[in-house]
Every structure is written in structure tokens, then in C-alpha cells.
Structure 1
């Protein structure tokens, strides 16, 4: 029988790289820790470490054991987090959102659960790397983003395509007026408010401008949809945005759509982690998309 206590000690040593450091963190003597590691190696039939200098390096068998140990303890953490909520009066849905993502889109995604007496929605924002770490550590149930995380066949991420939003030139009624200029002239003659160059949307816009042979007059750039929204409301120029970002302003007549940028769109994604015990609230939200 595999001793899970020994496996947990092995993982601590593998992550630390030294017997001394792991023993100190585990509040064990080095001799006790070494004895239990040898017992694990005996039960598995393979050496898990080889000594190099003052450190310990995983063998091939050690790497395999560490991969399985991570999966085992992640499942245990997943089970604990899920079952702690069972029987509670309210369920928690822990959502991470890219700091630059449209707030309107976030609210649209969460609309089915917002206001429910039995649901507590916990929202956190950050960079994609920070949010994926939270997802991996099971402190988040889902990450909302417009940037797909890198991945391969071994990636733990599940990517759910939620929506594909059109992109338009947006401006104030005073700037647009009864303007009937074609799109190319608007792009060439009006100051533009653009997403920054490190966004997927900006790459598509730059490619379109290059095809049209236009060198734009850039009034402002921002990586935050909320800031783009404020800049266009202040009439700094025409903003290149998905209309959903300024849906309320368009509905109130504060902003207008000057032209649709055909062939350019913004993808909105939900990223989850492969889990044995998923959040049922999240399953309902994704199933509705």
C-alpha cells in the first residue's frame, strides 16, 4: 500500500531540493525524514533521488512520482474545497477576470447568478499569469479573459468560447454628427483611441490599417477597456471598441457607433482547470453559453 504521508514528505523534499531545508520546514529531523524517504523508495522499488553536491536531484522515477503526487494532492485539495461547501446555505463562485476585460461582459456572464440568495460571487482581477496561478491552486473556479492561455496536449486548462463580439468605431454624437464618410476616411482623418500594442485586438487593427495604407493619428492608447471607455466619453477621438464595452452609453445616447470594422472581432473566453469535482454553479453558467 502506498503511504500518502511518505508521498507528501517526498514532495516537500523534491520541491526544496535539499534534505536539510525540507526537514526544517516539516519540523522533522533529517534522519527521520531520510528514513521515511527510504521506506517510500522501497515500496515503489526505485530510487527517487540522486545526490549532486549538497543537493538532491530527482531521478526519472522521481519525476514520475512527483507528477503523480501533485495530481493526488490536487485532487485531495479539490475534494476538500468542494465538500466544505456541501450543506452550506450559500454556494461560492470564485471568478477571476483579466484586469483589462470589459466590465459589461463580466456582468453579462454572471447575470444568471447575481442577486441569487443562495450564491456568493467573489470577483478578483489581475494579469492572466496571476489568475491562472489562482486557478491552478483551486482558489478560483474560472478565469474570464480575451487572451487564450498557452497550452499543449498536457495543459490542464479547458478553454470555453463564450462570445465573439464585433468591433466598431465609437464616438460622441458631437464628433460623429451626420457623418457619412466611409470607414477608410474616418480612420485616416479622425484621431483614434486604440488598445495598446500587446493586445490581440490591436494586432488585428494594425493589420487592417496596413492593408488600407493608413498611418493613423493616435490620440491615446490604453490596455484597459474601462480607460478606453472614459477617453471616448471625453471626446478624445474615435475609439476602436466592441460596442458591448459602451453599451450603456450608446443606449443613453452619450456615444454612437460610427462604423463597423468588418472582419475584426473580440473573443471572450472562460478558462477552467480540469477538475474531478467541478463547481455546479459554473457548470450551469457555461452550459447556458
Structure 2
């Protein structure tokens, strides 16, 4: 087998192997099936072995094909890592930096975490996005974003190669409008029994922990609203529609911004915070600045 490998042909093989058929690879690569089939034949000649065999309407890797795929996975993974490194290399003009945060994270915390990235000794063009955790992790996997901020770690169940960097955790503080706070402040947390509550929706990690805590203490509030957007939940709380909680590290910010009062706090339930990257080792200086500053913030 000649030493030189045509990496364009290898990319066609890699895409077909992961897509399961030439037709699907053709749609993904925007190349005709005939072109892909012809390039695969050339690659097989170069390799000296067949890489696929027919399996019904699809294709199945041969033993040689499985071996080549393992190497191809590593080759293209290294290519992605190179892309990540190059995105952190100084260039003419601002360096693009894209952060995506889970919808469940309070905006005040996201701001406190991201802001240090704009103070590093480099021009940064920041783009801040948010969305459901599954969606933004998918963007991370294909390098559409540089970093994901979340309140829960990525797990193998999502089949996404990413690395968790735990930033810290915070207990919860409970807030209400002045009138509601006066009524429910005494005997906290048992004052929450039959009290009107505004809560994150159940797909949020902190909601599941909170529900378990209530159950353990035999506290049964009246749920007046459930929200994906923490800012909207705080607006309803400001209007006196119910009691809500936020991480304790932003308690002063919440009181000032929404004119609400603290009725109690607990460290028995803690919200965790993670930075999730496509790299095991943090290389991008903006990502490093976020991780370092967030760890200091969450030590308070």
C-alpha cells in the first residue's frame, strides 16, 4: 500500500461509515453518490483491501474497514482539536468567542461568569447564546460554540464527546414581594407549606433536587407557575405572584434588581455549575478566564 493517503477520500469513507450508506453521506457532503462511490473504490485500491460489504440496502464495515475507521476517527478528532487551538491564536482584529448557556441558568450568574473573558489582554468578539442543554451540547460537539455553561454535567447518555469542568456550587435563597415576604418569612422553610411558589420546570436539575428536599421535609406548597426562563420567573415574583428561589451567590443582585425581600435560605439544596468544553485541557484564554473567575465567584 502506498504511503500517501488521500485525506479527501478518507473523509468520504469516514462519512459513509458514520452515516451508514452512500446515499446519506451524499446528502451530508452535498456530493453525488457516484462521486463518493468512485472515490471509495480508489481508496480501497490504495489500501489494498475492501472497506465495506453489502448488508441489505446498507453497508457494513469489513475487518479492514473497522481498523481504518478507528484511525480515521482519531485523525479527524485531531483536526477538530487543531481547529480549536487555532481559534485561540491571536489574529488581526478581534478573536471570535462563542459561549452558550443553559436556559435554566440565571442571567446574572451567566454575566458574572462570562464578563472576565472580555477583560483578558486580547480583543474578544463575544457571542452569547442560550438554549436547551441537549441542543447547545450538540453545537459544542460540532464546534459551533467554544464553551457551554450548565448546571449539570454532560454524561455518556448523550453520546457527545465533551469534558466537564466543575466551577462550584451555591445554596438557594428564597425571595418574595415585600407583602408576601412578611407573611411567609417566619418559620422558614416550613412556612412554604401551602405557600404560592414559582418554580423552574421539571426538566431542570435544580427542580428535581428541590422537589426531593420538599418531600423529605413533608412540605407541600401550591405551585402557581413553572418557568424555563428564570428572568420571567423573577418578573412574576416581583409582581407578587409567588415565592421563588435563586442561587444564594446572587441574592443581593436579585433583591436590588427586582425589589423583593429574602424570606429564607438553605444549603441543603445546592445548584451546581459546570463549564463544558470539547477539549479535556482548557487552552482558549477566554475559557480559562471564565473558569478561573467562576471558581472564585462560587467560593463566596
Give the TM interval when normalised to the shorter protein: 0.7 to 0.9
Say if 2:94 is the partner of 1:107.
no
Q: Pick closer, same or farther for the CA change 1:211–1:62 going to 2, 3 Å.
A: same
- Of 126, 150, 161, 1:121 maps to 126
Q: Pick closer, same or farther for the CA change 1:68–1:274 going to 2, 3 Å.
A: farther
Say if 2:241 is the partner of 1:213.
no
Once the two structures are superposed, residues 111-140 of structure 1 have per-residue CA deviations (whole angstroms, 9 ceiling, x without a partner) of 213367711111121221211121111121
Q: 1:95–1:143: 8 Å Cα contact kept in structure 2?
A: yes
- Of 128, 135, 147, 1:142 maps to 147
Q: 2:184–2:191: 8 Å Cα contact kept in structure 1?
A: no
What is the root-mean-square deviation in Å for CA atoms of aligned residues?
Answer: 2.9
Q: 1:7–1:40: 8 Å Cα contact kept in structure 2?
A: no
How far apart are the structure 1 equivalents of 2:255 and 2:60? 60
Q: Pick closer, same or farther for the CA change 1:50–1:225 going to 2, 3 Å.
A: same
How far apart are the structure 2 equivalents of 1:185 and 1:159? 36
Say if 2:75 is the partner of 1:72.
yes
How far apart are the structure 2 equivalents of 1:229 and 1:41? 62
Q: Which range moved further: 159-168 or 24-33?
A: 24-33
- Aligned partner of 2:94 in structure 1 is 90
Structure 1 residue 252 displacement after superposition:
5.4
Structure 1 residue 110 displacement after superposition:
1.3
- Aligned partner of 2:10 in structure 1 is 7
- Aligned partner of 2:197 in structure 1 is 192
Q: 2:150–2:274: 8 Å Cα contact kept in structure 1?
A: yes
Q: 2:194–2:220: 8 Å Cα contact kept in structure 1?
A: no
| Normalised TM-score (structure 2) | 0.82
Q: 1:209–1:215: 8 Å Cα contact kept in structure 2?
A: yes
Within-5 A mapping of 1:10-25? 10-19=13-22, 22=25, 25=30
Q: Pick closer, same or farther for the CA change 1:7–1:215 going to 2, 3 Å.
A: same
Q: Which range moved further: 184-193 or 275-284?
A: 275-284
How far apart are the structure 1 equivalents of 2:103 and 2:284? 23
Once the two structures are superposed, residues 241-271 of structure 1 have per-residue CA deviations (whole angstroms, 9 ceiling, x without a partner) of 2244564341357111111123111111110
Structure 1 residue 26 displacement after superposition:
3.2
Q: Pick closer, same or farther for the CA change 1:110–1:40 going to 2, 3 Å.
A: same
How far apart are the structure 1 equivalents of 2:36 and 2:116? 54
Gaps of 5+ in 1: none
Gaps of 5+ in 2: 296-300
* Secondary structure of residue in 2 paired with 1:183: coil
- Aligned partner of 1:173 in structure 2 is 178
| Normalised TM-score (structure 1) | 0.85
- Of 21, 39, 49, 2:45 maps to 39
